[in-house]
Copies of this chain bind each other. A is one copy, B any other.
Amino acid sequence: MVSEIPEVVVLRLPLYVRALSRLQDESAGVISSQELGELLQITPAQIRKDLSYFGRFGKQGKGYTVSYLLGELRQILGLEREWSAVLVGVGRLGRAILSYPGFTPAGFRVVAAFDVDTNQIGKRVDGIRVRDISELEDAIKRDAISIAIVAVPASEAQRVIDRLVQCGVKAILNYAPVSPQIPGDVKVRNVDPVLALQTMTFHLKNLELAGKRPEGKRGKF
């Protein structure tokens, strides 16, 4: 059963797809789990175990055929089709998201953008007309959109996400600096570069502390 596949495995699959795509661009024919592991800094055993959830893709001692494995993984992840998404929040961050160059080549198309700001509504940003948020539910239901990108202020995020969930959105890419509450059948991924930086300053600080003290005296922090 698909539902029994550990979430950590699902989180790694796009990394495999990305690496295999590059290998295919470089005309690589076959790759071993060792080589793939080195590229991704994942152990070969982990790669073999991850893939074994979905079938047998490699031949004993022969490795994986790049194009075949890539095709299968794209199929498994649902990447063989285009996905439409809506954006909620077209402030500075929302506009940066609309101009993000990575979505379209990967098959993700922002088809509508919404805001509450009457100065924004009706304007065009990167080819998308900003609509009144009151049209959100109708637009999502009409086009059966299942992906939303949220770039509203923290104070508004939960309310907006509740509305999105209510009208059937099942996947939320959340740029608002909050950890939203969502029902079990909805997925959320948070994009937060500040949070990422804050997980690294811990190490920077400790490297500095370590550097300032002589090796022998380095005590308990």
Contacts and interface: CB of A to CB of B under 8 A. Distances in A.
B76 A202 contact: yes
Q: Copies per complex?
A: 2
A31 to B, nearest CB: 15
B2 A221 contact: yes
A149 B201 CA distance: 14
Interface string A72-83: 000011110001
A75 to B, nearest CB: 9
A189 B195 CA distance: 10
Contact of A191 (B13, B39, B149, B193): B193
Nearest to A104: B194
Given A171-B204, A198-B14, A92 B99 contact: yes
Interface of A: 1-3, 10-11, 13-15, 17-19, 22, 39-41, 76-79, 83, 85, 91-93, 96-97, 99-103, 106, 108, 146-147, 149, 154, 170-171, 173, 177-179, 181, 185, 187, 189, 191-207, 209, 220-221
Top 4 nearest A-B pairs by Cβ distance?
A78-B205, A14-B198, A189-B196, A171-B200
